[in-house]
């Protein structure tokens, strides 16, 4: 049975995103949790990614993307993050509303339209949540950061996870967005879920 291209794109994007800001590899169990799918379904799909030369995986081990898999993941992340940025800056969406819209649109827009959006936005290098936007040539620069949970003195916010819209709304209400400087006193007042959702610049 042929695998839908959108499924392949979603999987490689999720695998890449898991290790973008931290060094721990992703397993089939973690990938299943990230995608909200059954572990058995994810295992079968990973086998298909391996067969297509997009990933390498040993049973019960880490899943790693090949060069081709990484290139496809960066292409999809570029689409997703440019669309999120466009929705916020040009359409008026809030930063907590854009993820699901971008998940749909990223598979539909043409490269020509994406290039036009990029130019209209002034070639942004990061999305509304601070995630880096890969360039058209597939290169990407991820700044050095660490979780706020691991930064007892606080720091300058580089990135905020976009996986929980309710948390994003809460943080915006509290005045915590990308480029906010969080000092040690404010850092100590934040809850564990907030500390685990924010990355700050590495000292």
Q: Read off the pLDDT band of 52 (50, 70, 90).
A: very high
The stretch 50-72 carries a mean pLDDT of: 94
pLDDT at residue 59, rounded to an integer: 84
Q: Read off the pLDDT band of 5 (50, 70, 90).
A: confident
Which tens digit of pLDDT belongs to each residue from 91-110?
999 999 999 999 999 999 99
- Taking the alpha carbons at both ends of the chain, their separation in whole angstroms is 50
Among 19-23, 73-77, 97-101, 134-138, the least confident range:
19-23
The stretch 70-76 carries a mean pLDDT of: 96
Stated as kind and residue range, the H or E segment containing 40 is helix 39-51
The stretch 162-181 carries a mean pLDDT of: 95
The stretch 116-124 carries a mean pLDDT of: 97
Q: What whole-number distance in Å separates Cα of residue 126 and Cα of residue 95?
A: 13
**Domain range list for the chain:** 5-65, 145-201
**5-65: CATH topology:** Arc Repressor Mutant, subunit A (1.10.10)
* Angle of CA points 86, 87, 93, to nearest 5°: 145
Q: What whole-number distance in Å separates Cα of residue 79 and Cα of residue 21?
A: 19
Q: What whole-number distance in Å separates Cα of residue 100 and Cα of residue 173?
A: 21
Is the distance from CB of 179 to CB of 156 less than 8 angstroms?
A: yes
* Position 2 pLDDT exceeds 50: no
Whose tokens are 């130019």? That residue is: 119
- Within 10 angstroms of residue 33's Cβ, the number of other Cβ atoms is 13
Is the distance from CB of 45 to CB of 93 less than 8 angstroms?
A: no
* Position 1 pLDDT exceeds 50: no
Q: Read off the pLDDT band of 18 (50, 70, 90).
A: very high
Instruction: Enumerate residues 6+ apart whose C-beta is below 8 A from 65.
Output: 12, 15, 16, 54, 55, 73
- Percent of the chain predicted with pLDDT > 90: 93
HSE of 105 in the Cβ direction (CA atoms, 13 Å)? 18
Stated as kind and residue range, the H or E segment containing 171 is helix 165-173
HSE of 148 in the Cβ direction (CA atoms, 13 Å)? 31
* Position 64 pLDDT exceeds 80: yes
Q: What is the mean pLDDT of the chain?
A: 94
* Position 90 pLDDT exceeds 90: yes
Strands 63-65 and 55-57: antiparallel
């Amino acid at each position: 049975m042929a695998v839908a291209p959108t499924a392949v794109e979603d999987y490689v994007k999720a695998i890449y995103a898991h290790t973008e800001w931290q060094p721990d590899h992703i397993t089939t169990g973690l990938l299943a949790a990230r995608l909200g799918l059954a572990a058995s379904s994810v295992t079968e799909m990973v086998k298909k990614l391996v067969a297509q030369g997009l990933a390498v995986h040993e049973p019960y081990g880490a899943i790693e993307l090949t060069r081709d898999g990484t290139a496809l993941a960066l292409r999809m992340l570029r689409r997703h993050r440019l669309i999120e940025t466009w929705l916020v800056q040009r359409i008026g969406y809030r930063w907590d509303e854009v993820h699901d819209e971008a998940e749909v649109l990223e598979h539909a827009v043409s490269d020509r339209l994406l290039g036009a959006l990029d130019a209209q936005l002034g070639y942004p290098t990061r999305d509304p949540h601070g995630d880096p936007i890969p360039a058209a040539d597939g290169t990407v620069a991820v700044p050095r950061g660490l979780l706020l949970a691991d930064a007892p003195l606080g720091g300058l916010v580089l990135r905020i996870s976009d996986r929980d819209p309710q948390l994003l709304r809460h943080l915006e209400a509290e005045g915590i967005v990308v480029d906010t400087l969080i000092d040690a006193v404010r850092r100590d007042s934040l809850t564990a879920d907030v500390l685990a959702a924010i990355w700050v610049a590495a000292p």
